[in-house]
């Protein structure tokens, strides 16, 4: 089946650095993409989303980039903080109302 995946299972950065977490998706019919953050012992928390008619979307300290040509999604976190340490998942949605397909996650570790 088609699925969303992340390139790296772990990413270690220093506090204050910018972090980039990547995700490749295979379903060209997907039109909605979301990044979630999951801290230990908690459920996934919505970070930011983007629709397929956009290339870039910015939030507070986060930016999501979508490259439909190569089916690539990335999450950029500016000035990474220790509180950003968590597992990050990308997810895709083929059409409104269908189930989200999650990637396997990247564990971000931020050292101070």
User: At CA 33, angle to CA 24 and CA 105, rounded to 5?
Assistant: 50
Closest CB to another protein among 56 and 104?
A: 104
State which residue, 5 or 17, has the beta carbon closest to another protein: 5
Q: In angstroms, what is the minimal distance from the CB of 67 to another protein? A: 23
The footprint of another protein (CB under 8 A) covers 34, 36, 41-46, 49, 89, 91, 96-105
Rounded least distance, CB 17 to another protein, Å = 26
R_g (Cα) of the chain, nearest Å: 13
Q: What is the 3-state secondary structure (H, E, C) of 21-48?
A: EEEEECCCCCCEEEEEEECCCCCCEEEE
């Amino acid at each position: 089946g088609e699925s969303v995946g992340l390139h790296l299972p772990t990413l270690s950065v220093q506090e204050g650095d910018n972090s980039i977490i990547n995700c490749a998706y295979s379903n060209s019919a997907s039109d909605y993409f979301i990044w979630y953050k999951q801290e230990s012992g908690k459920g996934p928390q919505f970070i930011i989303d983007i629709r397929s008619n956009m290339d870039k979307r910015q939030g507070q300290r986060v930016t999501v980039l979508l490259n439909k040509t190569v089916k690539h999604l990335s999450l950029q976190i500016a000035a990474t903080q220790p509180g950003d340490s968590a597992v990050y998942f990308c997810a895709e949605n083929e059409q409104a109302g269908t189930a989200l397909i999650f990637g396997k996650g990247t564990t971000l570790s931020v050292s101070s």
